[in-house]
Structure 1
Amino acid sequence: MPATTPLPTAPGDWFTFRSLGEGITLITEPHVIPLLRCNIWHIRGRGLDLMVDTGLGVSSLHAASRHLFGQRVAALATHVHLDHVGGHHEFEECWCHRLEADALAHADPDGTLADLDLNEVNIEVPGYTTGGPALTALPTPDYDLSAWEVRQATVTRRLDEGDVIDLGNRHFEVLHLPGHSPGSIGLWEAKTATLFSGDAIYDGPLIDDLHHSDRVAYARTMERLLALPVSVVHAGHDPSFGRARLRELVRAYLDRNDAGLGLRKASVWR
């Protein structure tokens, strides 16, 4: 790996917390580059809390978020790309789609943040520039990038289309939304018209040419999202948005897909 300028130590806490009301908290890692900075969602329930995705796993999410938890919490993966499941191993209950459960339970520890080659990613979108390290700062002065790895998690529930997640006072339906990855899922709360979409759709450059991506399946997912009576989308990356923006993003993807265009394969994903 070529020599690089030493990274500074992050001032303050590694995670940021922003309450959106109604028991929903957005957790982010501001010192992770935007390409790998996933949105981590904590949903407070009467009988169960959900942690939707767990970030890159650079610092302990469980310890930092303990003040949010009720008596029981489950970590749900919208899909098992490394930027979404880095903290899953910290939780006793881990859920994901059945098609990606084995990948989460048998995570490949090879590869570290020190040798993650972001120079091979070509996404020319403002805010998604690449070519440098995965982090802009370190959580502690002695943090060793070469010691980071995706750790195996114990999958306690394998989800599928139509499953219902009961938090006691809130109910979410699992939507299988393949395309970005085979087991990508969303969580749909019909009562509030709220969708937690993972990387099936977000307000940024959608990636559909990974080794396990499927553009035909992705197009079907987009058509499905277009018909969903959404009020708000809490996505896997970037800011939340409403139905009008959802329709714009879907139509832009379908137009691009019809034209035979796509993003170059990004090798940072497992």
Structure 2
Amino acid sequence: MSRPGWFQVAETGPGAFVIAEPGHVNSYLLLGDELALLYDTGMGIADIGEQVRQLTRLPLLVVNSHHHFDHRGGNASLAAHAADIAVHADGAPLHTAPAPHDWLESYAHIAHDLRKRYEEFHAVDAGGFFLTDSRVEVRPVPDLADWRIEAVRPTRLLREGDVLDLGGRSLKVLHTPGHSPDGICLWEPATGLLLAGDTLISGTFFAHVPGADVTAFAGSTRRLAELPVTTALLGHNLRHRESADFVARVADAFAAVRDGTTRPHASTDMFGAAVRRHDFDGFAVLTAPHGTDH
């Protein structure tokens, strides 16, 4: 489906592009000499394949950071063109279901509300604060009556330690459960670049959803903090890239949540589900209510 202007595309490093759906999901395109890699395919609200083709004509490897609908929404539009759609082996069975209508309907409502609140804030901001940036603007939401996220069978299974050779650059697969059991990050040792998916985000970490595990999240983020990261590319929110300092702060935060040394308060997530909210500098961790964290 055509959605003009939905994506925000920008170069975010040598041979690396962020293809953002501002306020929603960030996908990333990396270019090698022989192969391009698309890390996540977004919401499926617009044709991410069209954006990719504007940037490169290289054969395409699609890698989903995990099975959640908002990171594989464009898989169906790419299935006929991609050399492979690759996922972690633990996540393959989780790709067999399309997004249910009630989830799509709920998210459409959230997206419209996000845009409305952004417009209200931007109007105040334009009066003199100038905190917003028109280059990374939360987009108006198109008509989503025909929005669908179909199930697409992966064609390649990835495991811890696999190396993805793009020709002239290689990335290592890191299994990073926590947000979901099949989460993977991609690490480029030669440059210190880390593609982090939802293992690192600049907003609220969802550690309360089905399949999430706080202890695993703490282990995965600590592992990432021990890497010589130069740039971490994040899965959500307008602030899409961070440094090693941020990775270390996230690891410390999850260790505190795991160890019970925070002071959470009752709140809700964006879908209205009850959570405990643990606030930190620049982000928050949401965990299940009533002591049901893993």
Decide: shared fold, TM above 0.5: yes
- Any conservation in 2 of the 1:38–1:236 contact (CA below 8 Å)? yes
Distance 1:236 1:163, change over 3 A: same
- Any conservation in 1 of the 2:221–2:247 contact (CA below 8 Å)? no
Match of 1:192 in 2: 191
Match of 1:246 in 2: 247
| Distance in 1, Cα, partners of 2:225 & 2:161 | 18
Match of 1:69 in 2: 56
**One-letter code aligned to 1:114:** E
Which aligned pairs between 1:61-100 and structure 2 lie closer than 5 A? 61-92=48-79, 93-100=84-91
**One-letter code aligned to 1:246:** V
1:104 equivalent among 95, 100, 105 = 95
Deviation track 1:3-28 (CA, whole Å, cap 9, x = no partner) reads: xxxxxxx8x52211101231101111
Deviation of the 1:109 alpha carbon: 4.4
Distance 1:265 1:217, change over 3 A: farther
| Distance in 2, Cα, partners of 1:100 & 1:266 | 24
Match of 1:45 in 2: 32
| Distance in 1, Cα, partners of 2:13 & 2:221 | 28
Report SS of the residue matched to 2:5.
coil
Distance 1:91 1:105, change over 3 A: farther
Match of 1:14 in 2: 6
| Distance in 1, Cα, partners of 2:71 & 2:139 | 18
Deviation of the 1:113 alpha carbon: 2.9
**One-letter code aligned to 1:188:** W
Distance 1:48 1:136, change over 3 A: closer
Comparing 171-180 with 69-78, greater Cα deviation is found at 69-78
TM-score, normalising length from structure 2? 0.73
- Any conservation in 1 of the 2:181–2:211 contact (CA below 8 Å)? yes
Report SS of the residue matched to 1:152.
coil
Report SS of the residue matched to 1:111.
helix
TM-score, normalising length from structure 1? 0.79
| Distance in 2, Cα, partners of 1:213 & 1:118 | 24
**One-letter code aligned to 1:259:** G
1:23 equivalent among 15, 26, 30 = 15
Deviation track 1:94-147 (CA, whole Å, cap 9, x = no partner) reads: 11111111222443544353344878xxxxxx99xxxxxxx96334xxx3x243
Gap regions ≥5 residues in structure 2: 111-116, 119-137, 272-294
Match of 1:255 in 2: 256
Report SS of the residue matched to 1:114.
helix
Percent of aligned pairs with the same amino acid: 30
**One-letter code aligned to 2:56:** F
**One-letter code aligned to 1:79:** H
| Distance in 2, Cα, partners of 1:49 & 1:264 | 41
CA RMSD of superposed structures (Å): 2.6
Matched residue count: 237
| Distance in 1, Cα, partners of 2:234 & 2:227 | 15
| Larger RCO, structure (CA 8 Å, separation 6 or more) | 1
| Distance in 2, Cα, partners of 1:26 & 1:117 | 23
Which aligned pairs between 1:38-187 and structure 2 lie closer than 5 A? 38-92=25-79, 93-111=84-102, 113-116=104-107, 137-139=140-142, 143=143, 145-187=144-186
Deviation of the 1:227 alpha carbon: 1.4
- Any conservation in 1 of the 2:214–2:254 contact (CA below 8 Å)? no
Report SS of the residue matched to 2:11.
strand
| Distance in 2, Cα, partners of 1:161 & 1:78 | 13
- Any conservation in 1 of the 2:180–2:212 contact (CA below 8 Å)? yes
Report SS of the residue matched to 2:95.
helix
Report SS of the residue matched to 1:54.
coil
Deviation of the 1:265 alpha carbon: 7.6
**One-letter code aligned to 2:249:** E
Tell me which protein shows more strand as a share of its residues. 2
Distance 1:13 1:245, change over 3 A: same
Deviation of the 1:56 alpha carbon: 0.6
Distance 1:75 1:252, change over 3 A: same
- Any conservation in 1 of the 2:41–2:71 contact (CA below 8 Å)? yes
Distance 1:166 1:233, change over 3 A: same
Deviation of the 1:180 alpha carbon: 0.4
Match of 1:219 in 2: 218
